[in-house]
Amino acid sequence: MSSNADGAPGGRTDSGPDRPGLTQGTLRLGPYEYAPDQRLVMAIVNRTPDSFYDKGATFGDAAALDRVEKALSEGADLVDIGGVKAGPGDVVDAAEEMRRVVPFVAEVRKLFPEAVISVDTWRAEVGDAVCAEGADVLNDAWGGWDPGLAQVAARHAVALVCTHAGGVEPRTRPHRITYPDVMADILERTVHGEAERAAALGVPRDRILIDPGHDFGKNTRHSLEATRRLAEMAATGWPVLVSLSNKDFVGETLDRPVKERLVGTLATTAVSAWLGARVYRVHEVAETRQVLDMVAAIQGLREPAVAKRGLA
């Protein structure tokens, strides 16, 4: 399976200030390999009754499976299944989280055998259970809160997303959090901390991604600065994943409620693509795919789908 972002004419893969992501190497997810010029869309599939965006629309099995099928048909390269709302809410223990995601991962693997399956969890026992059912990626959005999760990824040889969360406890919101330099903290925790630790534990280096963690342990200004400086993350050589979709930093920047944040999200997506991010965790798959393809074409990494103007 490959991304919809085709290679540039002549197989051009040169890097430079306008192509920071191309300093990175091959990324492997599941059985697939992705070149540095391929940008991947990760579709969000919430198995929660209280998610901030869809309010439980895909909590039921049938609706969630429909979401997977639709996302893949719209160009998603992988799906990210989560059983716990990121923000504060009802307590969801490990047993309940597993009830929500483990059988579902097994069903997705059976019905969509070629899909790349990611699971959004910070718990090692959940990670172990979903890997046993065929998950390809463990998306740790809480910065290694459970250090055993990286060990699980190593044991199953699956991909691991290492996210900056500023050391905050899972499902809590930051309160007056400060950083002398937010990007320096992101690099220290995700690269020199979690990513290198995961590699030392045995997670294959080409299966480790880093995520600046927009909104996680950050206020809006922190998330904007992290976006502005994404090229610094891309320059480390680790593939960068961004989770921007309809988040609070977009809403606060534009003063828009959750359902009116798509334009701001797509603008941030375009900037992130230009600065070298490679994987995009999103609610709106088709729109994101178009933005990424457009940026790739502007950068000379993708041919136009149609090029007739001025030639007839």
- Segment-wise mean pLDDT, segments of 10 residues, the chain, 312 residues: 36 48 84 97 95 86 97 98 94 97 98 98 98 98 97 98 96 94 98 96 98 97 98 97 98 97 98 98 98 97 94 83
What lies within 8 Å, CB to CB, of 139 at 6+ separation is 80, 82, 118, 119, 120, 121, 161, 163, 281
Give pLDDT, residue 241: 98
Mind listing the domains of the chain with CATH numbers? 36-298 (3.20.20.20)
What pLDDT, on the 0 to 100 scale, is given for residue 23?
66
Note the pLDDT of residue 44. Answer: 98
Whole-number pLDDT of residue 2: 39
pLDDT of residue 11: 34
